[in-house]
Amino acid sequence: MGGLLSSLNTPYTGLTGHQVMVDVTGNNIANANNEFYSRQVVRSAAETPLWKQNYALGQGLDVLTIERVHDEYSYMRYKKAASEKTYYDTSFSGLKEASSYYPEIDGVGIYKDLQSYFNAWKDLSTKAGDPAQKVALAEQANTLTKNIRETRKSLEYLQQRLNDEMKVAVDEVNRLGEQIAILNKKIKEYENQDFNKKANDLRDLRDQYEFEINNLIGCDVFKQNVRGSACVNKDIADFDDDYTLTIGGHSIVDGDSFHPLVLDNSENPSGIYTIKYLRNDHKPYNLTNALNQGKVGAILDLIRTEDVLTCNGTIGKLQVYINDLDTFANGIIEATNNIYAESSQLSARSDQLIIDARDALTTSGYNVHEGTFKVVMYDKDGNALGAREVTINNLTTMQSIINQLNANVDDNQDGNALNDFDDRFEAVYNNDSKTFSIASKNPTQEVYISIQDNGTNFAGAFGINRFFDGNDASNIELAQQYRNDPTLIRAFREAVDGNFVVANKMQQLQFDKITFTDYKGEERSETIGGYFRYIAGKVASETQATQTTQATKEAVYTATKKEYKALSEVSVDDELVNLIRFQSGYSANAKMITAIDEMITTLLGIKN
């Protein structure tokens, strides 16, 4: 019922309502520099009126709830733009460092070492018997191989460092995911008590954790029954009944349940982590290929190796660069050794191989091609004594090579059955030691052999009488005997003074195209210098392309952040205006209470 005393309730509700408005405005101003704080507003309405016979008498102000100003859809765009920016920032940082390992623009680096190395062979070809020239050649070969090895080590170190960063990032994702599950429980408990109670600060904190997870690894969030606020805009709130956060298509947070990611590198020789998800049956599912967003996605795009991939995956850019460098080094090793096998020696011996005598050579995994090669015999004065030609086709095995070399054939076509290759040498492939060898049947005769190739790469592929040891960029180096004594280097084909056929062929090698077979088995015909420019150019072009995309993503991020902040961010100037408004309302209601108090005093005086 109405009356003078009940009239006090009307300004009292206005007084307390405006006090809430002042408090909320003060909270907004206090959090003005809190990046993930959403501006809050008081949602109010008129109290239920007192119904009279001819009118409805208002009963004051009703504070319904306090809501945050949050646009879920602009927030999603902002979150996506931030994740893309982080992805390209991380990617560019890694590629920029990798490109610094190829400093060709400064006139130093592997390409410069290649030129110096081939120039040393040129110098040796003019003074084939000069020990000083051989020492100089050995020094240049050591410098070249050392820089190739160190470049590969630098790429591997960068790969491992990023791998460690990824572990830290995934651990942080797990921590944040667990915190979100805890927040979901608190939000549900608080908001279920009363429909109009809003856990604004808890939702802001959840958005912050969600934003950070998205930056780190990328995520999708699904909210059911999203409701808006007509007080501000019916489409901008995210008061929901359920919350699910997925990473790589798998649920990490489901309401107040949390399912962690697991890192594992126990089965990977490279030490690179795989990222797995523990399913409800506790069996791990490999997510590595599905992660392509945020910092972790960028790192994986840089460092994935063959041993962390599942089907249909692609290896990382740094691993591609390492593989390219291995292909480059292997090309140098095999082409050089194939030529160096022409330098005549008393015997020949291969590396320890991993093939059986009955395996086809062209499909054995070694870089052997169809064609022919000759084993030419020379006496100690450099006179040719005959040659045995061997043919390789797609069916040729090591055993058939042995059979061709040991066959009873009149190489010289002189009718003499005692002076042919099979009379002087025996070829053997030992299936136990997995080595190929050619040995003299009568070493006292001092007959030398030279393996002269015609397209097969037989001596280069199997490492027969090496100049370079190793088979890739991790172990390329000058053969041990020449590191110990450079004067043993042979520039000749026939072991006589004034012969420098091998040295000439070595310096010509820089201009000849050779076949490089990459890690995919794809072949590329290119000069040694040209192939290095190709792989170094790949690093530079990918770095430049990533930098360009990074600038674009930076602009998109700035625009979406501005859009989101324009709605949710606190404007101190606007809040100060509101503070004046609410303070005035508070003062006016206080005056109403004073006036009613005076009216009651007057009424009591009249009664007395």
pLDDT of 78-106, one tens digit each?
999 999 999 999 999 999 999 999 886 55
Tens of pLDDT, residue by residue over 376-426, are 999 998 999 999 999 999 999 999 999 999 999 888 777 777 889 999 999
Task: Specify the DSSP element, H or E, that contains 90.
Answer: helix 72-99
- Indicate if the pLDDT at residue 237 is higher than 80: no
pLDDT at 574 over 60: yes
Residue % of the chain over a pLDDT of 70:
94
pLDDT tens-place string over residues 309-322: 665 678 899 999 99
pLDDT at 189: 86
Q: Which of 352, 364, 349, 366 is nearest to 515 (CA)?
A: 366
- What does the pLDDT read at residue 285? 86
Query: For residue 527, what pLDDT is reported?
Result: 95
Query: Would you call 56 helix, strand, or coil by DSSP?
Result: strand
DSSP code for 105: G
- The predicted-structure confidence for 511-530, as pLDDT tens digits, reads as follows 999 999 888 888 899 999 99
pLDDT at 262 over 70: yes
pLDDT at 234 over 60: no
Task: Report helix, strand or coil for 64.
Answer: strand
* pLDDT at residue 399, as a whole number: 95
Task: Look up residue 581 and give its two tokens.
Answer: 């408004």
**Residue 306, token pair as written in the block:** 């063959």
- Give the Cα separation of 484 and 261 in Å (integer): 52
Q: Is the pLDDT of residue 236 over 60?
A: no
Q: Work out the mean pLDDT of the chain and round it to a whole number.
A: 89
Residue with tokens 């409805």: 56
Q: Which of 534, 468, 474 is closest to 102 using CA atoms?
A: 534
Residue-wise pLDDT for 109-128, tens only, equals 899 999 999 999 999 988 86
- Percent of the chain with pLDDT strictly greater than 90: 66
Picking from 229, 222, 230, 227, the residue whose alpha carbon sits closest to that of residue 238 is 227
Axis-axis angle for helices 72-99, 528-568 (nearest 10): 150
Q: What is the mean pLDDT of residues 283-296?
A: 90
**pLDDT at 224 (0 to 100):** 73
Range from 69-78, 113-122, 545-554 carrying the lowest mean pLDDT = 69-78
Higher pLDDT: 468 or 193? It is 468
pLDDT of residue 71: 84
pLDDT at 192 over 60: yes
What's the whole-model pTM score? 0.87
Lowest mean pLDDT among 132-141, 151-160, 187-196, 260-269: 187-196
pLDDT at position 188 over 90? no
Report CA torsion sign: 129, 135, 140, 142: positive
Q: What is the band of 498 on the pLDDT scale with cuts at 50, 70, 90?
A: confident
> Please, which residues have CB within 8 angstroms of residue 521's CB and are 6 or more apart in sequence?
none
State the DSSP code for 413: -
Above 50 in pLDDT, residue 230?
Answer: no
Q: DSSP class of residue 345?
A: B
Range in 6-15, 85-94, 219-228, 576-585 with the lowest mean pLDDT: 219-228
